[in-house]
Structure 1
Amino acid sequence: MKDWFKSGSPWIWLTAGAVALCVLAVAGVLWISAARGLTHFWPRAVAETTFRDGERQVRVIGELRDTEEVAVRRLREAGFQIDTQAAFVDRVLIKLGNRDLTGQDFRWYPRPLLGELSYPQDILTVERHEWGNAYGHLKAVKEAEQIVAEGATAWPALVERVQRAQRLFAEIYRIEKFDIGDINYRIEQLRLRQRKAELRGELTDALKADLERQREALQAQFTTLQERLQRLRDDIGRDTVVLEVADGSDIEIKLALVADVYRPNAMSVAEKIGHYFRKAWEFLRDDPREANTEGGIFPAIFGTMTMVLVMSVFVTPFGIMAAIYMREYARQGPLIRIIRISVNNLAGVPSIVYGVFGLGFFVYLLGGNIDRLFYPEALPAPTFGTPGLLWASLTLAILTLPVVIVATEEGLARVPRSVREGSLALGATKAETLLRTVLPMASPAMMTGLILAVARAAGEVAPLMLVGVVKLAPALPIDGYPPFIHLDRKFMHLGFHIYDVGFQSPNVEAARPVVYATALLLVVLIMVLNLTAIYLRNRLREKYRGLEGV
């Protein structure tokens, strides 16, 4: 046994066991996120049953979402009249929908008080832009308060009119966001141009008249678009669908408010698969709605990718240059050792501290001075003196800078001294040796530092809450207006989106699958970024492998 310990085999097995536990933990996280997140897009059957509420029977319509075992004593204390000798019974979580009518989206029901479950094929699931889902039996389709289809003909007529309403809604969205947005942008540019001329004393009567003519032309375009929008809104608001809800009453839902409609109990397997992939694509493509618990997360994906790329542009050259100076040029002594210790300690500073630093130094100090020097016409509205993409990227660049410096220094240290001496002996200068020989051989280590920096930056949330991330961004940081990349804009981030939906949502049960799906997507995004960088690193390693033993 003593010889076995001396051989080092126990430590090898402990290391292997620790790695295996880490792999299992990661696999478990991915499995839970996938199991609870990817099922969110599958069309769930809508059940109809009865609930015994005291002496009366209440009809219930909704999706069965969860089941758990609960003590009968607790249910009786809550006022449920359960006649059973068992100590525990099941209770079922049902998504009732129709939140505008009932005031609640989900409710737990004791299973003994529920009747037999049925799944009528005429039950509709209506996804709305507001108030979540609505469930009910399809009764009729109306146009301008007149019934145009009911009974067996109601469903084909409804599908046709919903598709028409969706086309009109997309056109309204395009006009509001792009056409009117473009006019508002140009009007604001005219205002800033006039204000800038006033501050410089260059606002002549001719310039003022020219700006006014341009403003009137834009205002005329705006009026034309407003009239067109009103016609589209009147057109899209003519159609309604009539549903019989759980309490037996009929409700009318305007198709202008409907995002999607389908009959989950009547769908075939092929239709469900098609619905699944369509909803998954909408999740990746669309903007969020309903306090981020519905819709898509494209702005968060785009914001995360943009921030990581801008951060990489800043952290990579500065981290590499700092490492080159400390390893290749600086005199090795107490000062450099203190700097290295400080760099290593910076890697352990809590990220929220970097956020506070970024808010105070970048936003208030640098941003405020930039506004006073270069954007006085926009004041008092800040341009760079407010949290935004640039400050968030710089804050995360400082946060991840120690990782890049340490990894690059280690790569430079592994380059054999004989390689440097051979290059110098052949007549190359120190700079040429560094650029053409040493740095290419150390490039895999540089890529390793970048991989670690990207992985940490993509998952950080705390500092971003102070320096640029928001719950819902009005515009993407990249668009078609000069300078095209708007570093002053606020942005959405997948990590903050998970925090906001998971802990700040007013509808926790509806938000839960969105949290898992977003978390899985964030992990996949980080894996894609890392695998890309790892591929490049391995290519570089293979290219310079022959020089390692020189």
Structure 2
Amino acid sequence: MKMKKKSVSEWVKSGDPWVWLNAGAVAISVIMVVGLLLLIAVRGLGHFWPADVVEANYALPGQPAYNIVAERVESVEVPAAQLREAGINIPDEHELMQRTLMKTGNRDVYGADFRWVLDEYLTDSKRPEMLFTAERHEWGNLYGYLKAVKENGQIVSETADLEPTDSALATWQVFEKSIDRAARIHEEIKKIEKTDIGRINYGLERIRLKQRSLELEGKLTPAAEADLAAERSQYDEEYKGLQQSLIDLYGEINRDSFIVQVMDGSVHEIAVAKIVHAYRANAMGVPEKIGFYFVKLWEFLTAEPREANTEGGVFPAIFGTVMMVLLMTVLVTPFGVVAAVYLREYASQGWVTRIIRIAVNNLAGVPSIVYGVFGLGFFIYFLGSGIDQAFFPEALPSPTFGTGGLMWASVTLALLTLPVVIVATEEGLARIPRNVREGSLALGATKAETLWRVVLPMASPAIMTGVILAVARAAGEVAPLMLVGVVKLAPSLPLDGNYPYIHLDQKFMHLGFHIYDVGFQSPNVEAARPLVYATALLLVIVIALLNLSAVTIRNHLREKYKSLEM
């Protein structure tokens, strides 16, 4: 029996083309998302790999040759005509030229740590094993040959060799020990300055505010003033001891220095305390490079930023992002659920309720910067200033809550995501069968008990869906945060050991704003570019983990209350 072939019109009417069209659209979307994530991952994660350092001669036509020591960053093809317009004497037979961006480092010596070179004019390229890379607290990377190590101005180890001889390797080992010693002292200094002295400064500020409060209340008696002075003197004595410890530690950390020969042949003496890491990438095997790669990756996740956010880590930004999202979730969930319960369960379903629902749906489409302006005007200038006048008059004119901070950023984003939670919760409440409510009421439960023990538990998966959507939107917002509390660099975390431990009035860092700052405000664009990719990937991972946590809770609730829906 022969099958009858469908005509084109019948095939279109059957709906098969739309099925294939939708499937193709989904496939293209998935490919684009995966491709974007792969691009970000490759560009970002590749930054932490210890790249080989090349030494070569470079001479453009008609110009003197010079030595270049650098890491290869990327290569592109450019028209030769464009290079001729720039004043480079390129032969006429060339139409395209391969150009490579080289990271030469040593910004304190050359003024810039990146330069473009034409591959054709690079000669005698080699990778010497004794050529080393040093990451510094300031001025970016340093590339060169180690010549000597000093202690207290005296040379303790030196070498004239540029090859891995016994003398050169021994000097390198002394150099590594000096770096380790300086790193340990640096951690001690950091602990004293940020933890111990920070606690003393915090205590002194509380004494000052207490004294000012007593003055305003007219209760600053001689006895109270003497108590405050005694408490202040204790802090002063402790500070003097810590200050002397810092003087001793700074004397120790500045003891060592090293002499390095850079690519132009000049020799420089640099303090070992300025070095974060030093390694000879050309002499490292694959296992050593993998180990160093994970050390750098861990530093990126746990350290503080340095060099105008173009070096170091992003831990303060990770901490600020997660803490802000958690506070926002704690604020938006109860308000969103209460609003949805009232609209669905208690409000009379008339034209007023319909208008409110339309308004809620429209609020979900308001640009986020509008919420930022509202948060700045209402929460900070009005509410925050009122709180300062009522509860913190002793701190005025310095604002406490009358300026941007973690709390106002969280409240602003809670307001921004409130419509999402309301709509999702209402939809969940609408799906609960009416006979479930009636059965509970028939068994003698009140309406409030029915709502609390039956309706809300069954609607909890929908509530969690609203929370997931709220987290996904809030975690990536940047525009409103620029007005209500986020900063380029926060010297301390909003969570520490000083009472009240969580400082909601404190400004904070955020991964989204960090991407904007590094990508568009950095004075060193080439150095910042890999960190933009790495931070963007990290933001995606943080949002995915937050959403995954919420999805896990939602699935658990869905399984728990599935039997009630039957």
Superposed pair shares fold, TM > 0.5: yes
Please name the residue that 1:186 is paired with: 203
Q: Which runs of 5+ in 2 are unaligned?
A: 1-7, 160-167
Matched, 1:508 2:515: no
Matched, 1:408 2:421: no
Which of residues 119, 127, 132 is equivalent to 2:140? Answer: 132
Per-residue CA deviations over 1:321-352 (Å, capped at 9, x if unaligned) read 10111011110011111111111111111000
Please name the residue that 1:100 is paired with: 108
Contact 1:96 1:107 (8 Å CA) reproduced: yes
State the shift of 1:10 in Å.
Answer: 2.8
Matched, 1:219 2:236: yes
Name the CA distance, whole Å, in 2 between partners of 1:14 and 1:214. 76
State the shift of 1:15 in Å.
Answer: 2.4
Please name the residue that 1:111 is paired with: 119
SS of structure 2 residue aligned to 1:79: coil
Q: Which runs of 5+ in 1 are unaligned?
A: none
Per-residue CA deviations over 1:121-162 (Å, capped at 9, x if unaligned) read 111111100001110011111112221112222101001111
Per-residue CA deviations over 1:28-80 (Å, capped at 9, x if unaligned) read 12101110111111101110111114331111111100100011111122222
Name the CA distance, whole Å, in 1 between partners of 2:217 and 2:371. 38
Please name the residue that 2:285 is paired with: 268
Which of residues 30, 40, 43 is equivalent to 1:36? Answer: 43
State the shift of 1:294 in Å.
Answer: 0.3
Name the CA distance, whole Å, in 2 between partners of 1:5 and 1:172. 74
Please name the residue that 1:145 is paired with: 153
Contact 2:199 2:498 (8 Å CA) reproduced: no
Matches within 5 A, 1:430-441: 430-441=447-458
Please name the residue that 2:261 is paired with: 244
SS of structure 2 residue aligned to 1:56: coil
Which of residues 207, 229, 232 is equivalent to 2:246? Answer: 229
Contact 1:82 1:112 (8 Å CA) reproduced: no
Matches within 5 A, 1:102-501: 102-151=110-159, 152=168, 153-501=170-518
State the shift of 1:252 in Å.
Answer: 1.2
State the shift of 1:18 in Å.
Answer: 2.3
SS of structure 2 residue aligned to 1:360: helix
Amino acid at match of 2:206: Q
Name the CA distance, whole Å, in 2 between partners of 1:8 and 1:375. 67
Name the CA distance, whole Å, in 2 between partners of 1:256 and 1:103. 22
Contact 1:477 1:487 (8 Å CA) reproduced: yes
State the shift of 1:19 in Å.
Answer: 2.0
State the shift of 1:84 in Å.
Answer: 5.3
SS of structure 2 residue aligned to 1:484: coil
Contact 1:49 1:117 (8 Å CA) reproduced: yes
Name the CA distance, whole Å, in 2 between partners of 1:199 and 1:167. 47
Distance 1:430 1:9, change over 3 A: farther
SS of structure 1 residue aligned to 2:257: strand
Amino acid at match of 1:210: D
Amino acid at match of 1:17: G
Amino acid at match of 2:69: I
Name the CA distance, whole Å, in 1 between partners of 2:18 and 2:344. 33
State the shift of 1:543 in Å.
Answer: 1.8
Work out the percentage of aligned pairs sharing the same amino acid: 62
SS of structure 1 residue aligned to 2:65: strand
SS of structure 2 residue aligned to 1:139: strand
Contact 2:134 2:141 (8 Å CA) reproduced: yes
Name the CA distance, whole Å, in 2 between partners of 1:444 and 1:21. 30
State the shift of 1:501 in Å.
Answer: 0.3
SS of structure 2 residue aligned to 1:115: strand
Contact 1:128 1:259 (8 Å CA) reproduced: yes
Amino acid at match of 1:98: N
SS of structure 1 residue aligned to 2:475: helix
TM-score, normalization by structure 2: 0.95
Contact 1:310 1:393 (8 Å CA) reproduced: yes
Please name the residue that 2:3 is paired with: none
State the shift of 1:83 in Å.
Answer: 3.0
Amino acid at match of 1:118: K
The count of residues paired between Structure 1 and Structure 2 equals: 549
Which of residues 27, 45, 53 is equivalent to 1:46? Answer: 53
Please name the residue that 1:19 is paired with: 26
| Bigger Cα displacement from structure 2, 477-486 vs 277-286 | 477-486
Contact 1:82 1:113 (8 Å CA) reproduced: no
SS of structure 1 residue aligned to 2:142: strand
State the shift of 1:22 in Å.
Answer: 2.1
Name the CA distance, whole Å, in 1 between partners of 2:382 and 2:17. 55
SS of structure 1 residue aligned to 2:43: helix
SS of structure 1 residue aligned to 2:126: coil
TM-score, normalization by structure 1: 0.98
Please name the residue that 1:80 is paired with: 88
Amino acid at match of 2:106: N
SS of structure 1 residue aligned to 2:409: helix
SS of structure 1 residue aligned to 2:124: coil
Name the CA distance, whole Å, in 2 between partners of 1:339 and 1:136. 69
Name the CA distance, whole Å, in 1 between partners of 2:230 and 2:562. 68
Amino acid at match of 1:35: V
Name the CA distance, whole Å, in 2 between partners of 1:62 and 1:179. 41
| Bigger Cα displacement from structure 2, 414-423 vs 513-522 | 414-423
Distance 1:84 1:143, change over 3 A: farther
State the shift of 1:429 in Å.
Answer: 1.4
